[in-house]
């Protein structure tokens, strides 16, 4: 009987050792978070046609559908816009003064800006005098959308479209 007990003990020991946790089976606890990757960054163009824009006092604006502007973009991401000015993409808002040909002084100022919400972006002119509205011109606006944690990209020069395009692989 002693030898049978010994054999039973050895078999039981082997079974216990064989039943220890293995690497195959249900997942264990999560490990530490890995390094952050780049967020989803995209861009699109809107054509701001002044003749089709709404005029409200000193504001001239148009709204554009933008399905890229999801709730997560609006809550934690970022939206920037640029206008093609004198051969380069210039960050909005962009303000300039218009001088009279007769007098070297600024007659009025014009600001081109943008606003956004979920699913749309609005482009607008704000002028300092109603007479300036007749001098406004159509513009092509490039909108860049960062769907990720914007605060993680504070080191990107967002005012320079070339730097943004290079950093995130966007087309000019």
| pLDDT above 50: residue 131 | yes
Q: How many domains does the chain have?
A: 1
Residue numbers of the domain that contains 131? 40-168
For residue 11, tell me if it sits in a domain. no
Contact 157, 144 (CB under 8 A): no
For residue 2, tell me if it sits in a domain. no
How high is the mean pLDDT of the chain?
Answer: 82
At 65-112, the pLDDT tens digits run: 999 999 999 999 999 999 998 888 999 999 999 887 887 888 899 999
At 48-64, the pLDDT tens digits run: 999 999 999 999 999 99
For residue 16, tell me if it sits in a domain. no
Q: What per-residue confidence (pLDDT) applies to 36? A: 52
Cα–Cα distances in angstroms (integers) from residue 17 to residues 23, 24, 74, in the given order: 14, 16, 55
| pLDDT above 60: residue 151 | yes
- In terms of Cβ atoms closer than 10 Å to its own Cβ (0-12, 13-18, 19+), residue 100 is exposed
């Amino acid at each position: 009987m002693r030898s049978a007990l010994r054999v039973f003990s050895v078999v039981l020991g082997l079974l216990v050792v064989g039943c220890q946790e293995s690497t195959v089976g249900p997942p264990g606890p999560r490990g530490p978070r890995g390094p952050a990757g780049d967020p989803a960054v995209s861009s699109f163009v809107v054509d701001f046609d002044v003749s089709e824009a709404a005029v409200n006092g000193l504001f001239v604006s148009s709204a554009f559908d933008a399905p890229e502007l999801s709730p997560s973009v609006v809550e934690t991401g970022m939206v920037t816009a640029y206008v093609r000015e004198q051969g380069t993409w210039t960050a909005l808002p962009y303000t300039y003064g218009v001088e009279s040909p007769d007098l070297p002084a600024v007659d009025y100022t014009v600001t081109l800006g943008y606003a956004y919400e979920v699913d749309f972006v609005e482009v607008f002119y704000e002028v300092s005098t109603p007479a300036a509205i007749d001098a406004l011109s159509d513009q092509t606006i490039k909108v860049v959308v960062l769907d990720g944690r914007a605060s993680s990209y504070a080191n990107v020069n967002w005012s320079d479209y070339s730097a943004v395009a290079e950093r995130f692989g966007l087309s000019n």
